[in-house]
Amino acid sequence: MSQVDGMRLTVLVDDSKNPIRPELTAKHGLSFFIELKAGRHTTNLLMDTGPSADVVLQNAQKLDVDLRKVDSIVLSHGHYDHTGGLLGILKHIGKKVPVIAHPGALEAKFAAKKKRLKKAGIPFRVSELEKSSGILTLKRGPTSKAPGIWVSGEIKRASPFEKVKGFKTMRRGKLVDDYMPDDQALFVKVKGKGLVVVTGCAHAGLINTIEQAKKVTGSSGVYAVVGGFHLAGASAGRISATIEELQKAGVKVVMPCHCTGKKAITKFSKVFGKKCNQLRTGNVVTF
C-alpha cells in the first residue's frame, strides 16, 4: 500500500511569541522536522528552514532533534522566512542532501508594502547553494519521495476566492506581480488516518492545495491540514469559504500556524472545536 505507518512532525520554529517551552526561540518563519515511518524504514524530511539557521539549530538541539538524520530538505517556496536557514543547516548536516524546490523559488522576490518594495527572496546567492552540500533538485511537477509521501509540484489555481496579492518578482528584467508558482506543499498518506497536507504559507491557496493533494495522491478526501494558511488579512468571506471547502473535503484536523492570522484561527476553532490546534515552536504532533 502506498502509505506510511505513522508520521511525527516537530515545529522547529514558528512566529507565535509563546513557544511551548520558555527556552525555545520563536521567530517569523517556519521549519518542520517530519519523521515518516513505514515498516522498519524511516524517512526524515526537513520542510523549510526558518529565517536563519541559528534559531532552528538551537531549537532542534533543545527538542532532541538530530538534523544530521535529514534525508531530504523540501522548500515550500522561495521566501526568506522559509529558506534563510538553509545554508547554515546544510553545513550542520555535513553530508550531501537533496534540496527539493520549484525552479521559481530561486527567482528574485519582493513584498510590496505601501508602494515600497522589500526584498523577500532567498537571502543568499544560488551559487552559494550550489557550492554547499545541498543537491539542488528543481522540479515543476509532483515528486514522490517514498511510498505514501509526495511533494505537490506546482499547484493549479482553480478556486475563485483564492488570489495571490502583494508579491512581486523580476521576469525578463521587468518587475511583475508574483503569483508564487513556486508554492508547494507536502502530502502524506497515513495508515488508519488518511491524507495529511502540510503547507508552508499556502500562497497558492489552501483549497487549491487540497485539490492538488487529492489529484496527486488519488485520495477522495483529506484528513488533516497543517501549516501556514496565509489568511492573515483575508476577508471574512474568504475565511468562511475556506472553512466550507475544508468541511466538504472531509477535513477532521486543522493545525494552523505561521501566516494563518488570528482572525482565521479563531474561526477555525469555532468550527472544528478541539480538532483545531494552533501549532507553536516546539509542538510535536503525531498522525
Interface with Zn ion (CB under 5 A)? 79, 81, 201, 259
79 or 102, CB closer to Zn ion?
Answer: 79
- The nearer residue to Zn ion, 195 or 257, going by C-beta atoms, is 257
For Zn ion, give the closer residue by CB, 11 or 38. Answer: 11
Question: Which grid coordinates are listed for 86?
Answer: 538553509
Closest approach of Zn ion to the CB of residue 38, in Å: 29
* C-alpha–C-alpha distance, residues 119 and 234, integer Å: 22
CB of 164 to Zn ion, least distance (A): 10
Residues whose CB is less than 8 angstroms from the CB of residue 40 and which lie 6 or more positions away in sequence, other chains included: none
CB of 183 vs Zn ion, minimal distance in Å: 8
- Report the residue number, 81 or 154, with the smaller CB distance to Zn ion: 81
DSSP β-ladder status, 134-138 and 116-119: unpaired
**Least distance between Zn ion and beta carbon 2 (Å):** 30
Query: Which is nearer to Zn ion, 88 or 261 (by Cβ)?
Result: 261
Task: CB nearer to Zn ion: give 29 or 282.
Answer: 29
**Rounded Cα–Cα distance for residues 87 and 130 (Å):** 10
Q: For residues 141 and 166, which CB has a smaller minimum distance to Zn ion in the complex?
A: 166
In terms of CB distance, is 35 or 81 closer to Zn ion?
A: 81
Rounded CA-CA distance 256/79 in Å is 19
- Compute the least distance from the CB of residue 32 to Zn ion, in Å: 12
Distance CA 183, CA 166 (A): 15
Tell me how far, at minimum, the Cβ of 147 lies from Zn ion, in Å: 29
Ramachandran area for residue 180 (φ above 0: left; ψ -120 to 50: alpha; else beta): left
Tell me if residue 132 falls in helix, strand or coil.
coil
Minimal CB distance to Zn ion: which residue?
79
Name, in order, each residue with C-beta under 8 angstroms of 116's C-beta and a sequence gap of 6 or more: none
Nearest Cα neighbor of 230 from 264, 202, 197 is 202
∠ Cα 238 188 239 (to 5°): 10
Strand-by-strand arrangement of the 167-171 sheet: 116-119, 109-113, 167-171, 174-177
Q: In angstroms, give the least distance from the CB of 91 to Zn ion.
A: 23
Phi, psi of 216 (to 5 degrees): -65, -35
Grid cell in block for residue 272: 472544528
4 DSSP assignment: B
| Shortest separation between residue 200's beta carbon and Zn ion, angstroms | 6
